[in-house]
Amino acid sequence: MEKKILVTRSSLPPLEEYVEEIRDIFESRWLTNMGVKHEALTEELRRFFDVTEVTLFQNGHLALEFALQALGLRGEVITTPFTFASTTWAIVRAGLT
């Protein structure tokens, strides 16, 4: 039998700990935005940053797109050629060059 050499290996909590952490999601049957975990994280971030408003995004692209549009920027953006393609898409969708 050939032995595999793993370059990386995911770090996971014990299964029982993970199941207990997601139990309330299964009990509420709410798997989308504004569920129990979403609300708990939002409240914890409000307290941590001592702010009244926090908005969570499902990914970095949406957060970047929102920020660029909210700032009302105009003109040209210079970014690295090694950036993820989504960065360029967010810049274009915000009306920037």
**pLDDT tens-digit readout, 26-72:** 998 888 788 888 899 999 999 999 999 999 998 999 999 999 999 99
Using CA atoms, how far apart are residues 15 and 26, in angstroms rounded to an integer?
15
- Residue 24 maps to a domain: yes
18: its two tokens: 């993970």
Total-model pTM: 0.63
- Residue 34 maps to a domain: yes
pLDDT tier, 83 (very low <50, low <70, confident <90, very high otherwise): confident
Report in angstroms the alpha-carbon separations of 52 from 43, 47, 56, 64, 71: 9, 9, 14, 21, 19
The number of distinct structural domains making up the chain is 2
Q: Are residues 71 and 87 in the same domain?
A: yes
What residues contact residue 30 under an 8 Å CB cut-off, 6+ apart? 36
Which range of residues forms the domain containing residue 48? 13-56
- Residue 51 maps to a domain: yes
